[in-house]
Amino acid sequence: MGSRPHRVYSTGAGQSDANTPANGDREITSSIATYTTDLRSAVLMWRSTPHVLVKLERIQARSSQSFQDLISGYPREEQAKFYELSRFPTG
């Protein structure tokens, strides 16, 4: 397993502390406080790597558009069936 990057939080007045979240992190931390530890950790990890989320969003948008293009020639009722089937894993 790789190690996680060390997070350093700002305490204001130019000081940093590894245990005190900066303003943006404090807002996120309070908004996810009711979630499980695993989910909170995942959210905070993704917060520190937003470029990965941006790339993932682009991939999802292209995939969605490709799927729509693929089924666009079918009647609406058939398209609805394809959408329903696509929700289930194939493997």
What SS3 state is found at 81? helix
Per-residue confidence at 47, pLDDT binned at 50, 70, 90? confident
Q: What is the pLDDT of residues 21-30, one digit of tens each?
A: 455 667 777 8
Please give the average per-residue pLDDT across 22-51, as a whole number.
80
Judging by beta carbons within 10 Å of its beta carbon (0-12, 13-18, 19+), is residue 1 exposed, middle or buried? exposed
Report how far Cα 57 is from the mean position of its chain's Cα atoms: 8
pLDDT value of residue 2: 47
For the entire predicted model, the pTM comes to: 0.48
Those residues with Cβ within 8 angstroms of residue 62's Cβ, 6 or more apart along the chain or in another chain: none
